[in-house]
A and B are shown apart, each in its own frame.
Chain A
């Protein structure tokens, strides 16, 4: 079975900071990876699909990339509205979410 890890599990950063989250899969998932944002009390929202494609209507400060076997998610300039938990999700073999990264403002 595929296992997904995310790091860090939580972070606190200042407004305007660059924030990066890393997701790793226990086996090759062939870039079949998406990123979601979930704010408290709300349903998740798709931000990035297929590792690096920005979903329509999502601000360009959000981006996804691939670095070797790691999948990275970056917020180029953290905004107060970005306080949320972020999840990666693989769909190469059925589907599975990572454990999540909670982001808040310092």
Chain B
């Protein structure tokens, strides 16, 4: 069965960076992209960006450009999302999801990784 397993919770200080991993199994990793979505406490869903299925093509929401980097290691079927220059506004649950398109539909989701930014 398709599974996306994310790395554990992180606590970071303002100004630091965080890297979240997302290990996929149960499907051919290079046949789908990966999208990243975050959700601040009590808030809605926010699309952050997408990494493509083969050549590592990326698309980022305007809000995160220059501060986010999405990569993928096809040898381990793992996607990564790094967010730099963290502030308290980045405290959120970060999800990865399998993406059918460029982006399009997000059909399987990870369990979420809580990132807390606090001094």
Contacts and interface: CB of A to CB of B under 8 A. Distances in A.
Q: Do A and B come from one complex?
A: yes
A55 B107 contact: yes
B67 to A, nearest CB: 16
A43 B47 contact: no
A23 to B, nearest CB: 13
B56 interface: no
A32 B105 CA distance: 9
Given A1-B62, A95-B35, A43 B44 contact: no
B111 A100 contact: no
B61 interface: yes
B95 A43 contact: yes
Contacts of B105: 34, 46, 49-50, 91
Nearest to B48: A95
B47 A95 contact: yes
13 contacts: A32-B104, A36-B45, A36-B106, A38-B45, A43-B109, A44-B95, A85-B44, A89-B106, A91-B101, A91-B104, A94-B50, A95-B61, A98-B44
Interface of B: 35, 37, 44-47, 50, 59, 61-62, 95, 97, 101, 103-107, 109-112
